[in-house]
Structures are given as structure tokens and as C-alpha cells.
Homo-oligomer: A and B are copies of this chain.
Amino acid sequence: MIVNMAVGATEAEIDHVVARIKECGYQAHLSRGEERTVIGVVGKGDKHRSELEALLAAPGVEEIIHISHPFKLASRDFHPQGSIVELGKGVTVGATELIVAAGPCAVESAAQINLVAERVAQAGARLLRGGAFKPRTSPYSFQGLGESGLKMMATARAETGLKVVTEVVSPGDVEMVARYADILQLGTRNMQNYALLQEAGRSGKPVLLKRGMSSTVEEWLLAAEYVLSQGNRNVILCERGIRTFETATRFTLDLNAIPLARELSHLPIIVDPSQATGKWSLVRPMALAAVAAGAHGLIVEVHPTPNQALSDGAQSLDFDSFDRLMQDLRRLLGALAKQLA
């Protein structure tokens, strides 16, 4: 941490800052320039980080600058090799095999989820996605089938061998959802729902952590840190678009975040092109782009009849479009010396 004193800060103001740094258990290194003095804070640990930030309220202080990342367990410095997360017998994410999760936005019926599961498994998906608890912007929208939806997904798993990934929205539901799901999904609106992050962490299940729609990559890795610090190392990041001024697409898919997160962190990272674009015709090109940028997997919305879906129909692929996507992915992976999981 660096404390940037204002031009014209007095010696007494500088002394006060130095004293406070020492009180918090760190050392202070002064660097006096022609215009201003800069104070480096050196020492171990982040325990008093917030207290030092309060120095911004001290007279003569202009700015506090952080020079180390606040995440630890999520950091590549901590774990230089990329993590490979096990999702079930023989299914992993993080190595050179691309994992594909596919399925409807919401589970609507047993018939629907069984049909989708069968078809996406044939096409090469290894995970079945589907929402039973849906966080909806409006209280009047379809909110999902709840536990009966989870049961339908478990049945579809039994018939296809796909692993199940599904969202949990409340700490009180974690245990129940974990009974049916192979991977717990934490959605964009809950990325900073710390009670939920910690409960999901304690479950021990792999956690798919979607990026908050207005979260920086640093905040996202700090959210992962909440899960990791519960002793659960099975965290998968998922970029799903951020909110920007552009409204022609539902969100702006931030693929810069793929190589960036891979530099900063050892955690595997997948991409959701359906949520990110909101428009099915953009899903295929953005899925290919995500893989070319280095994503370890994809999560894609697929529905038997998108234009009659109960939610997110506009961004869902039908079976033919999904088949075509999988064929294109196979060709692309060949060129990247990778393959489908």
C-alpha cells in the first residue's frame, strides 16, 4: 500500500501518517520528491487494510494506492499451476479438454428436460444446465419449479450420465440443492451475497461462480476467495457479460477477462454466451470466440422450441443450432490443439 501525500502536506501530517502505519503493525518507507512525499507501507498481511484506508481522512493525505492484490487463495502467485476441478467421475474442467454445459434456462417439465438432456448429450455436452430456482427481475415472472424441478434434473442425469449444474439463490436452500446437483451455480445477482458464498463453500460441492454484472475481475476473485476460504477448492469462474452503456445486446461479453483472469488466478474459467448476448444468433460466434480466447468451457442455453420458452427464449439455441455449434467447436479445438471433454 502506498500513501500519496498532497502537495504541501506538512511534516506534522507526514509524521501522523507514519505513526498510524506503525500502530497498525507495518513499516513506513518515505520517498520525498520535489513536489510531494510518498509513503510506502511494507509488512505482512492484510488484516488492517481497512484501517489504513481510513488514512484517506487524515489531513494532508491525497490518495491511498494498493499495490498488491487483496485475494490470496484465488491468486496464481499462491498456486502457479492452473487448477483442475473434478466435477464427477472422470469429468474435469481446467485442463486442455473443453467442457460444455447445455440445457434450458428453466426446467419446465420432465418431458422437456429429458428431451433436452438426451439431445445435448448426443451432441457432446457433458453437463446439463437448467434452472429450478430462478432469480427474476420481476416478482410476476415465472420463478421456477423449485425442488420438483431438481428431481426432474436428477432423473435426466440418471438416464444420460450428464452431470447437473443448477443455481441456488438462498443460503437456506444450499443443502437441499446440493442433494440433487453436481455443481452449484451462484448467479450474477448473488456474486456478492456473502452468506450464500460461504454456505456454498461449506457444502464442499464444486461451485460455478458467475461474474457480477458490474463486478471487476478483482471483485470476482474476492468473491471466489469467500468460497475458497471455507476450505472448498472447487471453484469455477464463469464470465457472463457485464453491464455497459450498449443496449443492443443484453450485456457486453468481456472476453478480455478470460486471459486476464488466467494470468491473475489458477481457477478454471468458462463462458456463458447466451446470457451475455441475449440473442441466439450471436451465441455461436461468441462461443467460438470464448474458446479461442482460452476459456475452459461453455454454458449454453438450449430449448426444444425457443420461441415458446417460459424464460429467456430469445437467447436459446434449438437442437439444430446446438449441433452446428458443437461441430464448429470440434474443428476449432483441433486448430488450438485441444479437444472436447
Contacts and interface: CB of A to CB of B under 8 A. Distances in A.
Given A139-B222, A316-B57, A292 B281 contact: no
Q: How many copies does the complex hold?
A: 4
Nearest to A230: B139
A179 interface: no
Interface in A8-46: 8, 20, 29, 31-36, 38, 40, 42-44, 46
B246 A242 contact: yes
A153 B242 CA distance: 38
A141 interface: yes
Contact of A256 (B44, B65, B276): B276
A135 B57 contact: no
A260 B63 CA distance: 14
Contacts of A311: 50, 54
13 contacts: A8-B77, A31-B31, A36-B68, A54-B306, A54-B311, A56-B279, A139-B226, A139-B229, A171-B171, A252-B252, A255-B289, A258-B285, A258-B289
B138 A222 contact: yes
Contacts of A254: 244, 246, 252-253
Shortest Cβ-Cβ A-B pairs, 7 listed: A54-B313, A214-B214, A56-B314, A335-B335, A170-B195, A289-B293, A292-B292
Contacts of A293: 285-286, 288-289
Given A36-B68, A54-B307, 8 more contacts: A46-B138, A56-B307, A65-B65, A135-B192, A169-B193, A172-B195, A252-B252, A289-B290
A47 B140 CA distance: 7
